[in-house]
Amino acid sequence: MTFARRDYRAVVVGAGIIGLYTAYHLARRGAGPVLVVDRGFLSSGGSGRNGGGVRQQWETRGTIRLAREAVAAYRRFGRDFGTNVWFRQGGYLFLAEGPAELERLARVHEVVRSEGLPSQLLTAEQVAERVPGIAPGSVVGGSFLASDGTVYPFPAVWGLYEAVRALGVEVVLGVSALGVRAEQGRVQGVETSAGPAGAPTVVNAAGGWSAEFSRACGLEVPNVATRHEILATEPMKPFLDPMVVRASDGLYFSQTMRGELVGGLTVPHEPGTRRGVPSSPRFVTAMARALVGLLPRLRGLGVLRAWAGFYDDSPDGLPVIGEDPRLGGFVHANGFGGHGFMLAPSASERVARAVLAEPVDLDPKEFSPARFLGSGAAPSRERLQLG
Ligand SMILES: Cc1cc2nc3c(=O)[nH]c(=O)nc-3n(C[C@H](O)[C@H](O)[C@H](O)COP(=O)(O)OP(=O)(O)OC[C@H]3O[C@@H](n4cnc5c(N)ncnc54)[C@H](O)[C@@H]3O)c2cc1C
């Protein structure tokens, strides 16, 4: 038999950063036996394909608060888990190309500051000091928060994997969750490619495939998987501390400690997972143009590799966290778009609370799955998306 037990307190579908962090919070709370299944290998989903950006500059207060907690968690990750995730707080610098964008950034800056985070509005000259070589006249200013930064995603996933197993969580790779067994509107267990696993709760942490798993369980959801591309250049002498982002075209890039520039840009693709995650010449060309346009000194720099992954987009740009009102014990932990890594430590703590039916301190208008079910709740929206 593939599973060590017949029955669990919870089965988590997906061993990405969200599923593993959820399992960690459950285990730390002494929830009882937890099983995590993943049909791929560790880091095969978005958690092994992202830019590692961790920022607290957002339009919505709920997201800022989760991100702020997550920054604190990544700062102590090494102590908590014994693994170095190379969290480097070089800041996030949003560029404004014109007055309208600067005004928008100023509004975000006000919200961020009112949450107690010392973001700064920068002049074009101050931007140029932080982005050496930026093309003259390319920006009118920017906003900057020094405590934002980047992590290296792989050790975060591996570190959590080791940590949850040490806490007694069973993680089984190469097993697909096919659906749930439900009676009288409540989850009783999960059907998998390795047989059934009994549990009163299932957590849908399936990333870009979360909508497919929800539907396999009879639940229609509005999440859409979108393919996003990213690349790494040849290494350069270190010159750039912050993650640099431009909201108008979703351009973002940072310099890793090995000197490579890693970044992406929005290039639309057919929604859904059907075509997998290939890279496209269209992206590499658009990204090269955008980078060289902004930083002419990058002309001639080689691209080492390019890859892609799925965002799991919700209609309002906010994650979906909590029990589905249509099926007791079915807990959503998805819809993280391009920011699941940076919200994982704190968001998944709320997922664990939802599993244990403890109060969750998140505004249901922003995070609950019920917000898409025609409850009439006033919509919130997070538009500061990248990539
Ligand atoms: C190019 C790119 C750049 C990004 N940059 C950033 C960034 O800078 N900062 C940031 O915070 N976020 C970023 N993201 C987003 C981030 O990577 C994701 O939000 C995050 O990794 C989601 O984690 P997850 O655990 O929900 O999903 P995943 O890591 O995708 O894990 C889901 C897992 O579920 C498994 N699975 C799916 N269906 C089933 C099933 N039926 N049965 C069993 N297993 C199943 C999959 O195999 C997968 O391993 C980026 C994403 C991409 C693609």
Is residue 2 pLDDT above 90, yes or no?
no
The binding-site residues of ligand 1, defined as CB within 6 angstroms of any ligand atom, are: 13-19, 37-40, 44-47, 49-53, 176-177, 205-209, 213, 228, 230, 264, 309-311, 336, 338-342, 387
What are the extents of the domains in the chain?
A: 10-49+154-223+315-372, 89-148+224-312
Q: What are the pLDDT digits (tens) for 48-73?
A: 999 999 999 999 999 999 999 999 99
For a ligand 1 pocket test, name from 336, 346, 348, 351 the mutation site with the most ligand atoms within 8 angstroms of its C-beta. Answer: 336
For a ligand 1 pocket test, name from 39, 244, 266, 332 the mutation site with the most ligand atoms within 8 angstroms of its C-beta. Answer: 39
* pLDDT for the residue 383: 79
pLDDT band of residue 375 (cuts 50, 70, 90) is low
* pLDDT for the residue 248: 84
Is residue 105 pLDDT above 60, yes or no?
yes
Distance 49 CA to ligand 1 centre (A): 8
What order do you get walking across the sheet with 177-183 strand by strand? 177-183, 186-192, 195-198
Name the CATH superfamily housing domain 89-148+224-312: D-Amino Acid Oxidase, subunit A, domain 2 (3.30.9.10)
Distance 220 CA to ligand 1 centre (A): 20
Assess contact for 366 and 46: CB atoms under 8 A. Answer: no
Can you read off the two tokens belonging to residue 363?
A: 């505004």
For a ligand 1 pocket test, name from 191, 266, 339, 351 the mutation site with the most ligand atoms within 8 angstroms of its C-beta. Answer: 339
pLDDT band of residue 236 (cuts 50, 70, 90) is very high
| Amino acid identity, position 139 | V
Average pLDDT over residues 169-189: 98
Is residue 316 pLDDT above 60, yes or no?
yes
* pLDDT for the residue 381: 84
Question: What is the Cα–Cα distance from 325 to 359, expressed in whole angstroms?
Answer: 15
* pLDDT for the residue 320: 97
* pLDDT for the residue 380: 79
**Domain 10-49+154-223+315-372 is found in CATH 3.50.50.60:** yes
CA distances from 210 to 45, 98, 114, 215, 222 (A): 11, 38, 34, 9, 10
Assess contact for 8 and 198: CB atoms under 8 A. Answer: yes
Q: What are the pLDDT digits (tens) for 119-162?
A: 999 999 999 999 999 999 999 999 999 999 999 999 999 999 99
Is residue 387 pLDDT above 70, yes or no?
no
Tokens 């979360």, residue?
210
pLDDT band of residue 374 (cuts 50, 70, 90) is confident
Atom 37, ligand 1: which residue's CA is nearest? 206
Atom 17, ligand 1: which residue's CA is nearest? 46
Average pLDDT over residues 331-336: 98
Interstrand relation of 186-192 and 177-183 (parallel, antiparallel or unpaired): antiparallel
Average pLDDT over residues 236-248: 94
Mean pLDDT, the chain, whole residue set: 95
Q: Which atom of ligand 1 is nearest to the CA of 264?
A: 1
Atom 21, ligand 1: which residue's CA is nearest? 47
Assess contact for 87 and 150: CB atoms under 8 A. Answer: yes
Residue 289: CB partners within 8 Å, gap ≥ 6? Answer: none
Is residue 377 pLDDT above 70, yes or no?
no
